[in-house]
C-alpha cells in the first residue's frame, strides 16, 4: 500500500470577490448556514479517510487555525451553562484532523501555493482542495478522484461540464474518453475564449496528485502577472506521466461568488430538518 493521502488547502487569498464581508473576516470563515466553508472542506477530507491537512495561509488568516484548535474558555462556558450538544460539537471540531499551517508569503499563484506545502507533505500523494468550491455529493469528491488514482497510479483532477460561453472562466481540458465519466487528458488550457476551447470540460477545485507534482511546479516558470499556475504544472504532469480527469458526481457551489454563496446557503439549509420547513414557507412569501 502507498503512503496515505494528505490534503493541501490553499487559503492565502484576499477574498476580493467577497468584499466587504472578507475585509476583516477570512473568506474561508464565511458561514454556510452556521458552518464555515473551510470546515465543510476539511470534513470532506476526513470523510475520504484523510487525517492530515496542510493549510497554506497568509497574513491575517490565524482564525483558520484557531477554528480547529481547542478553545478552553468557550468550552468551559458551554459546560457551565449545560450546553452539552454545543460542547460536544466544539470538541469534535478540534479533534477532526492533524492540522499543519504553512505560509505563502507572496501571492504568486495557485501553483506556488501548492508548492509551499512541499516540505510538510514529504513524498506522500496529495489531495488539493480549494475552499471556495463546495461539493455536495453522496461520496466525497476527493474520494472519487482517489479511486482513479489507486486504480491507475496516475494523478486525477475533478471535471465539470460547463454551459457554452462559460469556458473563459475555467481551465478547460482536452482528452480521450477512458470509461464512464473518466478522461485520459492530453491538454489543459487556462481560461480560453469559447471559440478556442477544446471542450466544455472544466477543471473544478479537486485534485489528487502524486508527489512528483512538486518538482514540476518548482520548474514551472511564472506566467501572466508573475504567477505560477497550477494548470501549467498539471500539463507537465500529463505529458511526463499521464493524467486523468473525472467528471465529479454531486452538486458544486462556488462559495467565492456572491450568488454561489447564497445558493449554497439555501441548499445546505434545506438539508437541515429544523430549518427546511420554515425556510420553504418563508421562500413562498418572497415569491408570492
Helix/strand/coil for 242: coil
Q: What pLDDT sits at residue 15? A: 81
Q: Residue 68 in contact with residue 96, Cβ under 8 Å?
A: yes
C-alpha cell at 218: 518548482
Report the C-alpha gap between 102 and 182 in whole angstroms. Answer: 33
DSSP conformation letters of 183-201: EEEEEEEES--GGG-S-SE
Beta bridge partners of 9: 55
C-alpha cell at 279: 425556510
DSSP conformation letters of 83-103: -HHHHHHHHHHHTS-EEEEEE
Distances (CA, A) of 12 to 45, 114, 127, 209, 234: 19, 11, 17, 21, 21
Q: Residue 275 in contact with residue 269, Cβ under 8 Å?
A: yes
Q: Residue 267 in contact with residue 149, Cβ under 8 Å?
A: no
Domain residue limits, the chain: 6-276
Q: What pLDDT sits at residue 1? A: 36
Report the C-alpha gap between 4 and 1 in whole angstroms. Answer: 9
pLDDT of the chain along its 288 residues, tens only?
Answer: 357 899 999 999 888 888 888 888 899 999 999 999 999 999 999 999 999 999 999 988 999 999 999 999 999 999 999 999 999 999 999 999 999 999 999 889 999 999 999 999 999 999 999 999 999 999 999 999 999 999 999 999 999 999 999 898 888 999 999 999 999 999 998 888 998 899 999 999 999 999 999 999 999 999 767 889 999 999 999 999 999 999 999 999 999 889 999 999 999 999 999 999 999 999 999 987
Superfamily classification of domain 6-276: Spore Coat Polysaccharide Biosynthesis Protein SpsA; Chain A (3.90.550.10)
C-alpha cell at 134: 463546495
Q: What pLDDT sits at residue 2? A: 55
Q: Is the pTM higher than 0.85?
A: yes
Backbone angles phi, psi at 92, to 5 degrees: -60, -45
Amino acid at each position: 500500500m502507498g503512503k496515505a493521502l494528505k490534503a493541501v488547502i490553499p487559503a492565502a487569498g484576499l477574498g476580493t470577490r467577497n468584499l466587504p464581508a472578507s475585509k476583516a473576516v477570512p473568506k474561508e470563515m464565511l458561514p454556510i448556514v452556521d458552518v464555515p466553508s473551510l470546515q465543510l472542506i476539511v470534513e470532506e477530507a476526513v470523510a475520504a479517510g484523510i487525517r492530515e491537512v496542510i493549510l497554506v495561509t497568509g497574513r491575517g488568516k490565524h482564525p483558520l487555525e484557531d477554528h480547529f484548535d481547542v478553545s478552553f474558555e468557550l468550552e468551559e462556558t458551554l459546560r457551565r451553562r449545560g450546553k452539552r450538544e454545543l460542547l460536544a460539537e466544539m470538541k469534535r471540531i478540534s479533534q477532526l484532523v492533524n492540522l499543519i499551517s504553512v505560509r505563502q508569503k507572496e501571492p504568486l499563484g495557485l501553483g506556488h501555493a501548492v508548492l509551499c506545502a512541499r516540505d510538510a507533505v514529504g513524498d506522500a500523494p496529495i489531495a488539493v482542495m480549494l475552499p471556495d468550491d463546495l461539493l455536495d455529493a453522496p461520496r466525497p469528491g476527493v474520494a472519487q478522484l482517489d479511486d482513479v488514482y489507486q486504480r491507475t497510479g496516475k494523478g486525477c483532477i475533478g471535471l465539470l461540464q460547463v454551459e457554452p460561453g462559460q469556458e473563459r472562466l475555467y481551465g478547460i481540458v482536452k482528452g480521450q474518453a477512458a470509461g464512464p465519466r473518466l478522461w485520459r487528458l492530453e491538454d489543459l488550457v487556462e481560461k480560453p475564449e469559447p471559440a478556442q476551447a477544446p471542450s466544455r470540460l472544466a477543471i473544478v477545485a479537486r485534485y489528487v496528485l502524486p508527489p512528483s507534482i512538486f518538482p514540476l511546479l518548482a520548474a514551472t516558470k511564472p506566467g501572466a502577472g508573475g504567477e505560477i499556475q497550477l494548470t501549467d504544472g498539471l500539463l507537465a504532469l500529463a505529458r511526463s506521466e499521464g493524467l486523468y480527469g473525472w467528471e465529479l458526481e454531486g452538486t458544486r457551489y462556488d462559495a467565492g461568488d456572491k450568488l454561489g454563496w447564497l445558493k449554497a446557503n439555501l441548499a445546505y439549509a434545506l438539508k437541515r430538518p429544523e430549518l427546511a420547513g420554515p425556510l420553504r414557507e418563508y421562500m413562498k412569501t418572497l415569491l408570492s
